[in-house]
Amino acid sequence: MATITLDTVRKVYGGNVEAVKGVSIDIADGEFIVLVGPSGCGKSTLLRMMAGLEEITTGDIRIGDRVVNNVDPADRDIAMVFQNYALYPHMTVYNNLAYGLKNRGMAKDEIDRRVKEAARILEIGDYLERKPRALSGGQRQRVAMGRAIVREPAAFLFDEPLSNLDAKLRVQMRVEIKRLQRALGTTSVYVTHDQLEAMTLADRLVVLNGGNIEQIGAPIDVYDKPASTFVASFIGSPAMNLLKVKADGNGLALATGTGLKGPNTKGRDAYIIGIRPEHLEVVSAPGEGDGIHLEASVNVLEPVGAESYLYSSFADGGDEILVRVSSHARHEPDEKLYLRAAPENIHYFDAETGQRID
Amino acid sequence: MVTSTDYGRVARFTAVFTFFVTLLSLGIALLLAVKADKVLRGASSYKTLLMWVYAVAPPVAGLIGVLLFDQHVGPIVELFALFGWKMQIGVSYFDTSFAMIVTAVWKQIPVNFIFFLSGLQGISKSVQEAASIDCRSGFRRFWTVTFPLLAPTGFFLLIINITYAFFDTFGIIDVIVKNEPGNNPVTLVYKVYLDGFRGNDLGGSSAQSVILMVMVFILTIVQFRLIERRVHYT
Ligand SMILES: Nc1ncnc2c1ncn2[C@@H]1O[C@H](COP(=O)(O)OP(=O)(O)O)[C@@H](O)[C@H]1O
Ligand SMILES: [Mg+2]
């Protein structure tokens, strides 16, 4: 068990591709950190630098008190779970788990004890003598987890370990990983592009965009107070509605048309407001209550079971807005819609930088 | 015929010849392939270079080999003379065998190299990375992960190389011993030719070729089985 500290870590590939641009994170002992962001934002690169699979261009990575920049991957006391599992195809499940322990000169009976214990926890005891090719995707995933936990390392590093599984198994393994990490209390860094996976697993989220950190925080804090329009649209599903607005007399209006009314609480000429789909309330008449009022017309009602998504747009075109409604709500296409967002549920962002305005 | 001492001697030489040619050409090619693989994994720009090597290496190396090791014009004899070894190719049994083996090995290395290299490139990068986390020693990692994963390619090449040493080295041997009068080492295949066309013993020669045919048959069966296994393995 250990802390992991990243101090302005940069990675430049081949002299010109700057994949990670000076990232600093302090990871507490036993914490579950999720690095989340769209494909190509540098998540894997960052994780692989922690593992020692990628050189660090500048900056320092510390595991515990030790700067590990030049420490061999095998000596960093970390275990990694790969997206494609990376099991040794020529070894049995037992040997896949035992390999790293044997190479560290551990006694045979201690290896056996650890492998059996991991097999019991992960319920792979019945396949110990099988080769990986004789296992299903889910079973391979468990073996990959087993290979990490037998090592009892200072930290687990996960690189999209669930993205090759089908949806149902993914949810099941997600819960299991969380439970296991809680039980073992091992510091973990988990990479994913799936914001739902990130929200459900993380003690703290690190939202990455183009090699930079956009925001670090507990999932609910990131959700409640996204630091930028990027985070606002990336975290939360369906994504937050973002509307460009401008000052109009004493109030606000859409930057490109009509259909929005509200107080100019920030006193600026132009900014972006964000409203989550679940914070838009369908009201019977325009202009009732404070906050922001919208007038739109229905495009499509999309039922997903527990709730429905109402896609609608303003009379004179422009942005489409998404409203979460009850699964029992009935709306016809082209129906006129009055929407309201309460003041506490409105997010404000700078029109140029996209940064949050408080 | 099978019991004749002459045939036994040639069979023994063929076995020794095959053993060394196979071992050395596989061993050296593997070493080179491992080095090349390290370089290639680092930079993708080398890939173009590799394609080039793929295309021209075997015929060019074969040509250079014959030139280099030709006992009349090749520089290899002179090179060894510098080190005080006066090679008497075509006269000394050992020197002649040596020249044959070296030439045969040289000619086969590029073929083996290409197969080994593509075998190495076929090993998943993340498996290698997982191994580098599990095992500090690169040497140990090679023998416990890379080499076993290369084994299907290795088995396949083993058969190819045995076949090569047996049958495809006829030209090399012919160049070296053709005009030499001495009691020179030859392989079984060359003996068929010697006995039949030089010694005019067509009966004995045909009997020998039947034995060789059986060997080809066995090697082919083994090869097909291995190819089947190879497909299953990956
Ligand atoms: N070996 C490499 N050589 C050059 N560029 C790379 C290499 N690996 C990744 N990159 C680039 O670095 C950026 C970040 O990649 P990566 O960390 O894999 O992203 P993510 O895991 O977030 O999808 C991408 O633009 C990618 O093209
Ligand atoms: Mg990635």
Give residue-wise pLDDT tens across range A158-202. Answer: 999 999 999 999 999 999 999 999 999 999 999 999 999 999 999
Ligand 2 midpoint to CA A48 (Å): 10
* Alpha-carbon distance B149 to nearest alpha carbon in chain A (angstroms): 7
| Residue A45 beta carbon below 6 angstroms from any ligand 1 atom | yes
Ligand 2 midpoint to CA B142 (Å): 26
CA distances from B14 to B11, B108, B180, B190 (A): 5, 17, 19, 10
Domains, chain A, in order of start with CATH, read: 4-232 (3.40.50.300), 238-349 (2.40.50.140)
Rounded Cα–Cα distance for residues B3 and B12 (Å): 13
Torsional class of A333: left (φ above 0), alpha (ψ -120 to 50), beta (otherwise): beta
- Is the complex ipTM higher than 0.95? no
- The CATH number of the domain holding residue B138 is 1.10.3720.10
3-state secondary structure of A217: strand
Question: Taking a contact as any Cβ pair under 8 Å apart, which residues of chain A between 30 and 59 contact chain B?
Answer: 51-53
Identify whether A238 is preceded by a cis peptide bond (ω within 30 of 0): yes
Contact B50, B40 (CB under 8 A): yes
| Residue A41 beta carbon below 6 angstroms from any ligand 1 atom | yes
| Structural domain harbouring B95 | 5-230
Ligand (nearest to CA of A14):
1
Rounded Cα–Cα distance for residues A175 and A103 (Å): 31
3-state secondary structure of A46: helix
> What is the amino acid identity at position B127?
V
- Number of independent structural domains in chain B: 1
Tens of pLDDT, residue by residue over A102-145, are 999 999 999 999 999 999 999 999 999 999 999 999 999 999 99
**Residue B60 reports pLDDT greater than 80:** no
What contacts A214, CB < 8 A, 6 or more positions away?
Answer: A37, A207, A208, A227, A228, A230, A231
Q: What is the mean pLDDT of residues B117-131?
A: 91
Nearest to B126 by CA among A35, A157, A154, A118: A157
Contact B172, B103 (CB under 8 A): yes
Rounded Cα–Cα distance for residues B123 and B141 (Å): 13
Rounded Cα–Cα distance for residues A342 and A179 (Å): 37
Tens of pLDDT, residue by residue over A192-229, are 999 999 999 999 999 999 999 999 999 999 999 999 99
Give the percent of chain A with pLDDT over 90.
Answer: 83
C-alpha torsion sign, points A41, A43, A49, A52: negative
How many beta carbons lie within 10 A of that of residue A339, not counting itself? 23
Rounded Cα–Cα distance for residues A240 and A231 (Å): 10
Mutate which: A76, A103, A115, vs B, most B CBs within 10 A? A103
Strand partners, A347: A274
Top mean pLDDT of A272-281, A312-321, A331-340 is at A272-281
* Alpha-carbon distance A173 to nearest alpha carbon in chain B (angstroms): 21
> What is the amino acid identity at position B125?
K
Torsion of the alpha carbons at B72, B74, B79 and B84, rounded to the nearest 10: -20
> Chain B: residue nearest A52 by CA?
B133
Nearest to A259 by CA among A320, A344, A345: A320
